[in-house]
Amino acid sequence: MELHDLSLRQLRDGLHKRDFSAVELTQTLLKRIHILNPQLNAFVTITENEALAAAAKADDRLAAGENGLLLGLPLAHKDIFCTADVRTTCGSKMLEHFVAPYDATVVARLAAEGMVTLGKLNMDEFAMGSSNETSHFGPVCNPWDRSMVPGGSSGGSAAAVAAGLVPVATGTDTGGSIRQPAALCGITGVKPTYGRVSRFGMIAFASSLDQGGPMARSAEDCALLLNVMAAHDPRDSTSHPAAASDFLRGLDRPLQGLRVGVPEEFFGEGLDPEVAAAVQAGIAELERQGAVIQSIRLPNNPHAVSTYYVLAPAEASSNLSRFDGVRYTHRSAHIEDLTDLYKQSRYEGFGAEVRRRILVGTYVLSAGYYDAYYRKAQQVRSLIREDFRRAFAEVDVIVGPTTPGPAFPLGAKNDDPVAMYLADIYTIAVNLAGIPAVSLPCGLTQSGLPIGMQLMGDYFADDLLLNVAHRYQQETEWHLKRPQLAVGEA
Amino acid sequence: MAFEAPAVGCGGGMSMDWEVVIGLEVHAQLNTATKIFCACPTTFGAAPNTHTCPVCLAMPGALPVLNVAAVDKAIALGLAIGAELNRHSVFARKNYFYPDLPKGYQISQYELPVVGKGTLTVQMADGSEKIVGITRAHLEEDAGKSLHEAFVGQSGIDLNRAGTPLLEIVSEPDMRAPAEAVAYLKKLHALVRYLNICDGNMQEGSFRCDANVSLRRPGAPFGTRAEIKNLNSFRFLEKAIEYEILRQRDILESGGSIVQETRLYDANRDETRSMRSKEEANDYRYFPDPDLLPLVLDEARIERVRQSLPELPDAKRDRFVAQYHLSIYDAGVLTAGRVLADYYEVVADGVDGKLAANWVMGDLLGALNKAGIEIEDCPLSAEKLRVLVQRIEDKTISGKIAKDLFEEIFHQGGDIDALIDSRGLRQITDVAAIASMVDAIIAAHPSQVADFRAGKDKLLGFFVGQAMKASQGKANPDQVNALLLERLHAPE
């Protein structure tokens, strides 16, 4: 196998056995990025010099006998995580030239482990999108079929990992933004329990829903990364005091007796038959390993999308007010007065989907509409939480499809926002409840596109989900499938 | 809280048919060392934008973390006004665009404030008391400042103040005269300084007030109100309300109706003028801030703040009345501020309370006022003033000499006993010495003596004056008086 195909554990073994140095590993991947990124557009910024310097430092630490699990291993960050001295665009013209004076907590923690950051990954603008087409820096292409979307909003992360540009990447998930692109690109992605991963320095879309998480080619690699990402952060008031955990410890526990719930609502109208079949096969594999399968109900799940599209835009409309043309953002050149400064800078700086959500969010918070929309949506959110609470009294894990279908063609849903929003129909309830979920590959369509299976758990059951995903991956090979990429094209 | 007060006639010839209804919103800047949601210092007067960080600059991804010191100060106010303390309160975002509001929203409290209903008892000049209801007090952050001077065609933004903690204290519409509003504001001002939760500096904007003013016929429902902003002194509050009463009365009496609006008080012109009407008002789109957890107060914390509370103004006033035998009025003046009260207590230690009060309230406050100095910066220590009062009490010096000495030590300093000795100011209390002086005066003024004995009692003052002049003010006036009367009434 080539370096770009290796897991984190294999790469670490290679570094420690001196098969290759961190600098050599970094150079190899940078070369691959330079060849493939023009085809995929996964990276917004490639930090070649910083990466080589960090790799040299990691080699020194390795030579000095340090043996951290992630020391010298490469990764890339979704461009929503602030990085000191390297621009952070959030996929927007608004922040095209923004350089933060600080690292996001997640970035700082991974850097402290000695990981080598290769660059910043493309994404839907301000994480608003399910296809990576709203990025100011152009869409990302799906490595399995470059005419298809990679999913979003963490589309750059998913494509980069799937294409072997990096072994692991960070992502964020507000309504499915880690799981949906993971599913569409055939990789494993974890949306942790809300409060596990610090949001400090992670540009806010919808604060009560946003959660950072790892994206990798296996559950084990996700666990390795999450071990460092998950930690209480005093700079984030919503960070949980017990956020940290060892997600590696229980990975191998057998699934004998595991109670698995399959929600009827996830297998109804609108689900692609190939996806349904692959997920059913995945459930059968869990059963084969000793899990007990039962049907469950999540009766309020059908309301999840509409609830989300009230609450998320409401929070976003306020979160994005700081991008006002006054300080570090894009500022229009055509301004006469203060009102112009706001209107023109924001009109020019934000793309259509972001503007749409700001308008929706502003509307639902307005006097006279708040009760009918925002307050009502919060009430439905409680009902959705209650659905899960009842379900987890009966089962340990809930399993279903991550998405209603495989990757769709670029441009296919651009004129129909609601069709686009329905791409997240199975992922959104998890964010509204704040529970953890994992998407992992469980099949390929006839046309060779990946299919994702979603595991959902109770609060702080992230380790159990990783355990189930890992056991599944021990017995199956879907996570080892790789897209065919024309490396010679460049 | 609702009670009826008699219609009040206000300055400017207000007709007796209108009753003014006033409610105040006070923003008290809490004197914490650091800002409410980040660790930047709150000190006033630093170079622009030097007391800032990613949080108060609203950089992307920066998050607020509540400064619990601000919460303790809010609890202290709540306890002092006997308010309900909400065990569960919620921070909300108040959304609007302004360049000095970097996040595009202010973090405040809306539906669930930390402090609920309380009351403040206010003493009026005529000795009556008035209970003013306090609706709520909530925590919020201050905005920065826009600087329009020193820039041509541009504005500067200074975000040093952005994120400074504020406690907004909202009264019920319980006040019925400008004087009541002023008395309430003064009482609240004294209270926050007693509690050491706010420095009370109105000029620097640490204690700001908006007034809601409306008129109605007595007993009728409340009229439409105008909110007057920018009242940064007690005097401006009084004048702005007086102006507003006349303005609204003229409109109402000419058949018009009041527009609900925000008005700005212009001190230079002594008038209020419209800033924006209700229709132009922002829709703030309040909603709970998802970056902050609900604020939960536990009993232990409330109890800890309760234990740390100082003696409050009303309790101190009542103690002064009992302990120092002062009138309620004098005790009220002396306890209006914690520093003055402490000063007085040092002066009164071991001397007559009433005499000490006269000196502090009369000479000292007069001199401070004349010099434009606050009691906090008083050049004369309380210990020194006490020595002066002691020397009067033990008859070392006369009151007249004491006044001269006070002037000197207030302005130039110096040791009182040393000055008394070096200048020979010691009061003459030797009976023989005073007697010989009195005899000499009587001998030197035979015609006045005759007139006095013929019934012109007023001439006693003349003789006392002569004696004081002869003794250069040092003769004990009581003894002089007694001896003069004895000699003048003595048979020839």
Kindly identify which residue of chain B lies nearest to residue A326, measuring between CA atoms.
B99
CATH of the domain at B437: 1.10.10.410
Q: Are strands A292-296 and B156-158 parallel, antiparallel or unpaired?
A: unpaired
Q: What pLDDT sits at residue B7?
A: 45
DSSP states of B147-200 as a string? E-TT-SSS-EEE-SSTT-EEEEEEE-S-B-SHHHHHHHHHHHHHHHHHTTS---
Structure tokens at A412: 């296919």
* B36, part of any domain: yes
User: SS3 for B210?
Assistant: strand
Checking if the pLDDT of B197 tops 60, the result is yes
Helix segments in A64-145, DSSP class H: 105-112
Give the pLDDT confidence of B374-383 residue by residue, as tens digits: 898 999 999 9
**Bigger pLDDT: A489 or A155?**
A155
The reply to whether B347 and B476 lie within a common domain is no
Kindly identify which residue of chain B lies nearest to residue A317, measuring between CA atoms.
B95
Do residue A206 and residue B290 have CB atoms under 8 angstroms apart? yes
Neighbours of B241 (CB within 10 A): 27
pLDDT band at A488 (very low <50, low <70, confident <90, very high): low
Least confidently predicted of A6-20, B245-259, B292-306, B474-488: B474-488
DSSP summary character for residue B271 = E
Do residue A324 and residue B283 have CB atoms under 8 angstroms apart? no
Checking if the pLDDT of A8 tops 90, the result is yes
* A132, part of any domain: yes
* A286, part of any domain: no
The reply to whether B127 and B201 lie within a common domain is yes
Q: What pLDDT sits at residue B15?
A: 54
**Cα dihedral across residues A444, A449, A455, A461: positive or negative:** positive
The reply to whether B49 and B105 lie within a common domain is yes
* B314, part of any domain: no
Q: What pLDDT sits at residue B491?
A: 64
Best B37, B38, B49, B59 residue to mutate vs chain A (most A CBs within 10 Å): B59
Confirm or reject contact between A128 and chain B (CB < 8 A): no
Q: What pLDDT sits at residue B419?
A: 86
Q: Average pLDDT in the A145-153 region?
A: 97
pLDDT band at B8 (very low <50, low <70, confident <90, very high): very low
* B74, part of any domain: yes
Among A153, A203, A199, smallest CA distance to A322 is for: A203
Checking if the pLDDT of A238 tops 60, the result is yes
Domain boundary among B392, B423, B454: B423
Give the pLDDT confidence of A85-100 residue by residue, as tens digits: 999 999 999 999 999 9
Q: Are strands A450-457 and B88-89 parallel, antiparallel or unpaired?
A: unpaired
Q: What pLDDT sits at residue A316?
A: 98
* Chain A hits for B287, Cβ within 8 Å: 314-315, 318, 365, 370, 374
- Of the CA atoms within 13 Å of residue A358, those in its CB half-sphere come to 20
**Bigger pLDDT: B163 or B149?**
B163
Q: Nearest CB to A208: which of B99, B285, B290?
A: B290
The reply to whether B298 and B386 lie within a common domain is no
DSSP states of B58-74 as a string? T-TT------HHHHHHH
Kindly identify which residue of chain B lies nearest to residue A322, measuring between CA atoms.
B103
Q: Which of A154, A177, A198, A439 is catalytic?
A: A177
Q: Judge contact between A400 and A454, C-beta under 8 A.
A: yes
The reply to whether B403 and B450 lie within a common domain is no
pLDDT band at A359 (very low <50, low <70, confident <90, very high): very high
Q: Nearest CB to B60: which of A95, A237, A342?
A: A95
Which of residues 266 through 295 in chain B touch A, CB cutoff 8 A? 283, 285-287, 290-293
Least confidently predicted of A29-38, A342-351, A438-447, B196-205: B196-205
* B330, part of any domain: no
Checking if the pLDDT of A490 tops 60, the result is no
Q: What are phi and psi of A29, to 5 degrees?
A: -70, -40
Q: What pLDDT sits at residue A416?
A: 86
Do residue B285 and residue A362 have CB atoms under 8 angstroms apart? yes
pLDDT band at B1 (very low <50, low <70, confident <90, very high): very low
Q: Are strands A188-191 and A168-173 parallel, antiparallel or unpaired?
A: unpaired
Cβ pairs A/B, distance under 8 A: 98
Q: How far, in Å, CA of A346 to CA of A317, rounded?
A: 12
* Chain B hits for A323, Cβ within 8 Å: 60
Residues contacting A247, CB < 8 A, separation 6+: A222, A223, A226, A227, A230, A462, A463, A466
Q: How far is CA A197 from CA A124, A431, B32, in A?
A: 21, 14, 30
Best B157, B287, B295 residue to mutate vs chain A (most A CBs within 10 Å): B287
Q: Which residue has the tokens 């212009």?
A: B266
Q: How far, in Å, CA of A353 to CA of A139, rounded?
A: 14
The reply to whether B59 and B109 lie within a common domain is yes
* Chain A hits for B290, Cβ within 8 Å: 206-208, 238, 315
Q: Judge contact between B198 and B206, C-beta under 8 A.
A: yes
Domain count, chain A: 1
* A150, part of any domain: yes
The reply to whether B282 and B400 lie within a common domain is no
CATH of the domain at A181: 3.90.1300.10
Domain count, chain B: 3
**Bigger pLDDT: B203 or A101?**
A101
Q: Judge contact between A118 and A378, C-beta under 8 A.
A: no
* B357, part of any domain: yes
| Residue A458, Ramachandran bin (φ over 0: left; ψ between -120 and 50: alpha; else beta) | beta
Domain boundary among B305, B330, B350: B305
Is A332 part of the annotated catalytic residue set? Answer: no
Which pTM does this prediction carry?
0.89
Residue type, A103: D
Which of residues 205 through 264 in chain A touch B, CB cutoff 8 A? 206-208, 234-238
The reply to whether B267 and B186 lie within a common domain is yes
Among A297, A309, A294, smallest CA distance to A257 is for: A294
Q: What pLDDT sits at residue B3?
A: 42
Q: How far, in Å, CA of B335 to CA of B27, rounded?
A: 23
Residues forming beta bridges with residue A397, ordered by sequence position: A260, A457
The reply to whether B286 and B387 lie within a common domain is no
* A305, part of any domain: no
Checking if the pLDDT of B492 tops 70, the result is no
Is A177 part of the annotated catalytic residue set? Answer: yes
Question: Nearest-CA distance from B205 to chain A in Å?
Answer: 25
Checking if the pLDDT of B289 tops 80, the result is yes
Which of residues 342 through 361 in chain A touch B, CB cutoff 8 A? 342
The reply to whether B300 and B246 lie within a common domain is yes
Q: What is the mean pLDDT of chain B?
A: 91
Q: What is the mean pLDDT of chain A?
A: 96
Q: What does the radius of gyration of chain A's CA atoms come to, in whole angstroms? A: 21
* A392, part of any domain: no
> Domain limits at B94?
21-305
* Chain B hits for A327, Cβ within 8 Å: 57-58, 102
Q: What pLDDT sits at residue B12?
A: 41
Do residue B291 and residue A207 have CB atoms under 8 angstroms apart? yes
Q: Are strands A259-263 and A397-401 parallel, antiparallel or unpaired?
A: parallel
Least confidently predicted of A2-6, A166-170, B144-148, B360-364: B144-148
* A284, part of any domain: no
> Domain limits at A247?
3-256+462-489
* A401, part of any domain: no
Q: How far is CA B342 from CA A147, B204, B336, B351, in A?
A: 81, 25, 11, 15
**Bigger pLDDT: A12 or A334?**
A12
The reply to whether B190 and B236 lie within a common domain is yes
DSSP summary character for residue B111 = S
Give the pLDDT confidence of A387-419 residue by residue, as tens digits: 999 999 999 999 999 999 999 999 998 888 888
State the Cα angle at A38 between A35 and A42, rounded to 5°.
Answer: 100
- CB neighbour class for B136 (10 Å; exposed up to 12, middle 13-18, buried from 19): buried
Is A31 part of the annotated catalytic residue set? Answer: no
Q: What pLDDT sits at residue B423?
A: 80
The reply to whether B209 and B283 lie within a common domain is yes
Checking if the pLDDT of A455 tops 60, the result is yes
Question: Nearest-CA distance from A136 to chain B in Å?
Answer: 17
pLDDT band at B126 (very low <50, low <70, confident <90, very high): confident
Among A226, A278, A260, A249, smallest CA distance to A109 is for: A226
